[in-house]
Structure 1
Amino acid sequence: MTAAPTPHDPTEQLAAYRRSREAIAALAAALPDPAAVEVPACPDWTVRDLIGHLVHINESFVALEDSQIDLAPAAGLGTEELLARWAELDAELPAALERSPELRRRILLLDVFSHELDLRLRLDAPVEPTAHPAFDGSLDLSTMGFGLAVHGGGLPALRIETPERSWVVGEGDPAATVRGSAVDVFRSLTGRRTRPQIEGLEWTGEPAGKWADAFAWGPFTPPAAEVEPLAGR
């Protein structure tokens, strides 16, 4: 796997998390009724639900619980109350990051960053994901999770390439290579691309269908219908 600068230091991770939290809060605050705006990338969730989920995750993280990124949205609070609660949790986050294992910190960033993209794409807000300090680490983590699914499913090794980087997941020599923009690869690995969209990336070697099951891993599953277009190569 090619190396890239990723924010592994808790101070850098805190800055990256705050950047996403503040962006999400600003986008939500500009909506007349966040509870009425659905988020296609998160089926059955509104913007309010998305924020409720992130607050629930943050509460679990600062409490040092064994949190999972598929926690349900926090119930019983409106969007403004949730945003206020999220801001309050910021005071506890630095210490929690310092005490938490690296993998747990990276999962926290992957979750908030993915949902920032979900919200930006829903609202047609400007988005430059590769410039975000959480992007490289989130892409690495999603590639690792996908690789575990490849290995666990007894599938052949696969080379994944973006214009900037490459990885080999699974064991042995790669039986195929899939290429795409960094954004399309990341969104494909985190349940935001349909199977036809994934097959529409540039594949060489064995057919894409051989690895179809591995794209459903952890909390992620390719959606039945498109939730956003391919970003392009």
Structure 2
Amino acid sequence: MDANTSAGLYRDSRERMTAAVRSLGEADLDKQVPACPQWSVQDLVSHLTGVAADFVAGNLAGAPRPPWTAVQVQTRRNLSIDEVLDEWSTTGPALEQVIVGGTTSHPLVCNPYVDASVHEADLHGAIQSGRPTREAWLATLDWFLDEPGQLTVITPDGTYQAGSDGPTAVAHTSSYELFRALFGRRSASQVLEWDWDTPSNAAAWSMSLARLPQTPGPLDD
């Protein structure tokens, strides 16, 4: 993907989330995010703001592991949502300039729309406000699934392959469900419900894809 497209996808996601969150009251900002139950809605926005700030500053040590993201949230713990969003309105465009300027080749920094699109879906799931645009999750699938693998997933939008230790298998589902499952936002039981070639393959891959411990149960977003 070219730099301008990547920066544009990130900008659009940032602007959509900013608009959605600015109108929220305190009760909604304090809601637990089902896909990230250790975070409230405001914590989620603090993380996204912190990602932009860290990427611009070149603070990549430990990215994107939990200790790295925890600092982003804790640093902004006592700020109002307006202060957090105001910071993002500065660091976000600065990150977009880094991408377009081509001063780094780090895959996370060059493609921040991937993390943003995942968390935009998390946000929508928490406040029941729909989904990100198709463009966002399809671009994420194209970026994430760019290598041949043992698992072939056929969706109405295309055919994708994923590699792991699972058996050679074929499954049919929607692009959105694949997008959410790849980032641990679907439980093993939800992945089992895809249209699989054989039940034994489904059991092996459902455990591999639903790999994040915060989603043992189904998510509905």
Q: With the length of structure 2 as denominator, give the TM-score of the two structures.
A: 0.82
Give the structure with the larger helix fraction. 2
Deviations 1:99-145 (A, max 9, x none): 22262245521111111111122222233531x3x322311334359
Moved over 6 A (4+): none
Q: Find the residue that maps to 2:161 and give its secondary structure.
A: strand
Structure 1 CA distance for aligned equivalents of residues 131 and 209 of structure 2: 24
Partner of 1:122 in structure 2?
126
Given that 1:62 and 1:92 are in contact with CA atoms closer than 8 Å, whether structure 2 keeps it comes out as: yes
Residue among 21, 25, 41 paired with 1:28:
21
Question: How many residues are matched?
Answer: 207
Residue among 95, 107, 111 paired with 2:115:
111
Q: CA RMSD in A?
A: 2.5
The answer to whether the aligner puts 1:225 opposite 2:185 as a matched pair is no
Given that 1:106 and 1:138 are in contact with CA atoms closer than 8 Å, whether structure 2 keeps it comes out as: no
Partner of 2:88 in structure 1?
86
Deviates most, 107-116 or 65-74: 65-74
Given that 1:216 and 1:222 are in contact with CA atoms closer than 8 Å, whether structure 2 keeps it comes out as: no
Structure 1 CA distance for aligned equivalents of residues 145 and 220 of structure 2: 20
Instruction: From the superposition, tell whether residues 48 and 169 of structure 1 become closer, same or farther in structure 2 (CA, over 3 Å).
Output: closer
Structure 2 CA distance for aligned equivalents of residues 222 and 51 of structure 1: 18
Q: Which runs of 5+ in 2 are unaligned?
A: none
Deviates most, 48-57 or 220-229: 220-229
Given that 1:117 and 1:129 are in contact with CA atoms closer than 8 Å, whether structure 2 keeps it comes out as: no
User: Quick one: percent identity of the two aligned structures?
Assistant: 26
Q: Shift of residue 227 of structure 1?
A: 2.3
Q: Which runs of 5+ in 1 are unaligned?
A: 1-7, 151-156
Q: Find the residue that maps to 1:45 and give its secondary structure.
A: strand
Instruction: From the superposition, tell whether residues 106 and 140 of structure 1 become closer, same or farther in structure 2 (CA, over 3 Å).
Output: farther
